[in-house]
Amino acid sequence: MEAYDAVVIGAGNGGLTAAAGLAQKGLKVLLLERHNIPGGCATSFCRGRFEFEVALHQLSGMGTTERPGPLRMLLASLGVLEDLTFVEMKDLFSVSMTDGFRLTLRADKDQVISELEQRFPHEKAAIHQFFDLVYAYANNMLAAFFFKDPAPSREKYPVLYSHAFKPASEVLDEIFTDPLLKGLLSVYWGYLGLPPNRLSFAYLAMLLFVYIEFKPFHIKGGSQALSNAILNRFLSNGGTARFNGGAKRIIVENGAVQGVVTDDGDRIQTEHVVSNASQITTYAQLMDRENIPDQVFTEMGGRSLSPSAFTLFVGFDCEPGELGITGSTNFLIDSFEFDDRIFSRMRSVDITDETMVLSCYDVADPDFSPAGACQANIVTLKYGEPWMRIPPARYHSVKFQCAESMLRRVEAIFPGVRTHIEELEAATPLTHMRYLGHPEGAIYGFEQYTKDSMFFQPGRYAPIEGLYFASGWIGDCGFQPTLNAGMSAAKSILKKLDAA
Ligand SMILES: Cc1cc2nc3c(=O)[nH]c(=O)nc-3n(C[C@H](O)[C@H](O)[C@H](O)COP(=O)(O)OP(=O)(O)OC[C@H]3O[C@@H](n4cnc5c(N)ncnc54)[C@H](O)[C@@H]3O)c2cc1C
C-alpha cells in the first residue's frame, strides 16, 4: 500500500494551497482531483479562439507591491508570486440600470465619496458617516481577528461589538434615506449570496474595505493561471497529483484517519486528510456513518445551502468600447428590491429582473482575449434545487431560454451586443454541481447567516483525528478566504507534526 504524510482531496483553491503548503515543508503529499484540471471554480475552458474565465470577477486582498495585502503575502510565501501577473482594476464597480442610470465608482476611498456626494448631495453627511463606520469597523476587525488580539473587549473594539451582528440593511437604514444610494452601496451582497437584510454588516463592510484598500485585481491568463502556478509549485516541491480520479472513501479507525480509497480502488495509507470537498460530501459520501459523531449531522442540519449560479460566457468579435462596455465589473440592475423580490427570484429557474454582474476582463487587460476581440462573463445567483427538478429532456431548452433572457437584459443596457457574438456558452447550477461535486451546485458553501458566520464557524474543526477541511464550506467564501483556508489547514498539520 502506498503511504503519504497527507492526502488532499480536491484541487480547488483550498486544496491547492493546503497541498503546496505541506509539500513546501518537505511532507510527502498526494493531491486527488476528480476533474482533469486543477482549480475547482478557479479554472477556465476554451470555446473557439476564447479561453473563458469560469469564476473570478474581482480578486480581493492583493494590494500593490508597495502596499501588499494579505493575499499577496500568502502567494509570496508559497513562491508563486513571480510566476503570475496581476492586473489591477481601477474601478470598484459600475452600476447600469435599464432605465438609463449609470454610475462608476473608482477603487479609491476619496473618489468613491466624492462621486457619491456629487450624485447624492442631500446625503453628503451620511456618506461620510457611512465610510467612517466601514473603516472603523474594518480596523476593529483587523486588530481583533487578523492580528489575533488575545483579549478583545467591547471597550477596545466598540464598533466591532456594536455592528458585527447587525444586518447590513439595518445599518444602511440608520444612516441613509435615499433608497437608490442604499441599493448602490449594497450591490456587493451578490458576492456573498445573502441580500442586505439577511447579510451581516460585517461582511458588507469588510468587502467594501478590502476592495477599496487592496484594490480589485484580475490575473493574466485568468484564475486558471493561479491554479496552475500553485500546482506547479506543489509538483516541483515533490508533491504527487492525480487528476480524473478522486477520493471515494476516507478510512477511519478508532476515531482517527488511517487512509483513503481512490475512485480507482487504490488504498492509500495516511494519517492526515485535507478535504476540499464540501463537508456534506465528505461526511455523507466519503465516510462511514458509524465513524461520525451525531453532533456533526445535528450541526449541518441547522445550516442551509448557498445559491449556485447561472452564467453566460460570451466571446465578442470586437473590443469592449464598440459594445459600450467601459467598466471591468458591471452590475446590471432592474430593481433594488434585493431583500424580497430579487432574493425570491433566486429560487426561480427563469430570468426576468435579476441582478447580474457582467465582467469584461479586456477593459483592464486588453490582451485577455485574442486581438480585436473581448469576452464577458455574466452571472446571476440561482439556487440549485429548482434546477434539479427539471426533467432531463427539458434541460437544454430551459438552459437556452435562460441564456436568451439574460442576453435580452444585457442588450437593453448595451444595445447591439448580439450582433457581435462569436462564441456563447452557458453554465447552470447543474454545471456547477457536476464540476465541483457540491450539493445543489452551491458556490458559496453554506449560507453565511450571522449564526453561521466567521464569528462562530461551526464545523470548522472535524471531530475525527487527522481530518481537516479547507474550502469555502468551513468559513468565508471567495478566492482570498479559500486560499487562506488551505494554508491554515497545512499549518495545523505542520504544527501537529512539529514541522512548521
Ligand atoms: C460563478 C462564480 C463567480 C465567482 N466570483 C468570485 C469573485 O469574483 N471573487 C472571489 O473571491 N470569489 C468568487 N467566487 C467564489 C470562489 O470562486 C470560490 O469561493 C472558491 O474558488 C472556492 O474554492 P474551494 O477551495 O472551496 O474549492 P472549489 O472551487 O469548490 O473546488 C472543490 C474541488 O474539489 C474537487 N472534489 C470534490 N469532491 C472530490 C473528491 N471526492 N475527490 C477529488 N476531488 C473532489 C472538485 O472537483 C473541485 O475541483 C465565484 C464563484 C463562482 C462559481
CATH code for the domain in which residue 247 is found:
3.50.50.60
Q: Do 174 and 126 have their domain in common?
A: yes
pLDDT at 458: 60
pTM of this structure: 0.97
14 lines ligand 1 (CB under 6 A): yes
**Which residues on neighbouring strands pair with residue 200, listed in sequence order?**
167
Q: Best mutation site among 13, 17, 41 for ligand 1, i.e. most ligand atoms within 8 A of its Cβ? A: 41
Q: What's the chain's average pLDDT?
A: 96
**Which residues on neighbouring strands pair with residue 316, listed in sequence order?**
374, 421
Task: Give 56 Cα–ligand 1 centroid separation in angstroms.
Answer: 10
246 lines ligand 1 (CB under 6 A): yes
472 lines ligand 1 (CB under 6 A): yes
282 lines ligand 1 (CB under 6 A): no
pLDDT at 455: 77
Q: Do 244 and 281 have their domain in common?
A: yes
Rounded CA-CA distance 398/349 in Å is 8
216 lines ligand 1 (CB under 6 A): no
Provide the 10 A C-beta neighbour count for residue 363. 25
Task: Give 242 Cα–ligand 1 centroid separation in angstroms.
Answer: 18
Residue nearest to atom 17 of ligand 1 (CA): 41
17 lines ligand 1 (CB under 6 A): no
Q: Which of 214, 247, 280 is the last residue of a domain?
A: 214
12 domain-assigned: yes
90 domain-assigned: no
Task: Give 15 Cα–ligand 1 centroid separation in angstroms.
Answer: 10
Residue nearest to atom 45 of ligand 1 (CA): 10
Task: Give 477 Cα–ligand 1 centroid separation in angstroms.
Answer: 9
Query: Which residues in the chain come in under a pLDDT of 50?
Result: none
Q: Do 315 and 297 have their domain in common?
A: no
314 lines ligand 1 (CB under 6 A): no
Q: Do 324 and 417 have their domain in common?
A: yes
Q: Do 321 and 366 have their domain in common?
A: yes
482 lines ligand 1 (CB under 6 A): yes
72 domain-assigned: yes
Q: Do 330 and 418 have their domain in common?
A: yes
Q: Best mutation site among 276, 346, 434 for ligand 1, i.e. most ligand atoms within 8 A of its Cβ? A: 276
Q: Do 226 and 252 have their domain in common?
A: yes
103 domain-assigned: no
Rounded CA-CA distance 482/39 in Å is 11
pLDDT at 57: 98
pLDDT at 448: 87
92 domain-assigned: no
Q: Which three cell numbers stand for residue 58?
A: 474581482
Reported as a single tens digit per residue, the pLDDT across 264-274 is 999 999 999 99
Q: Do 320 and 384 have their domain in common?
A: yes
Provide the 10 A C-beta neighbour count for residue 185. 23
> How many domains are there within the chain?
3
417 domain-assigned: yes
325 lines ligand 1 (CB under 6 A): no
Q: Do 35 and 127 have their domain in common?
A: no
3 state SS for 77-141: HHCCHHHCCEEECCEEEEEEECCCCEEEEECCHHHHHHHHHHHCHHHHHHHHHHHHHHHHHHHHH
Q: Are 210 and 202 in contact (CB under 8 A)?
A: no
Q: Do 321 and 411 have their domain in common?
A: yes
185 domain-assigned: yes
Q: Are 158 and 181 in contact (CB under 8 A)?
A: no
pLDDT at 453: 76
Counting from 1 in the atom list of ligand 1, the atom nearest the Cα of 40 is 49
Q: Which amino acid is at 436?
A: L
94 domain-assigned: no
Q: Which of 185, 214, 243 is the last residue of a domain?
A: 214
Rounded CA-CA distance 242/231 in Å is 11
Query: Which residues span the domain enclosing 407?
Result: 307-436
Reported as a single tens digit per residue, the pLDDT across 409-420 is 999 999 999 999
206 lines ligand 1 (CB under 6 A): no
Q: Do 380 and 478 have their domain in common?
A: no
Q: Do 430 and 475 have their domain in common?
A: no
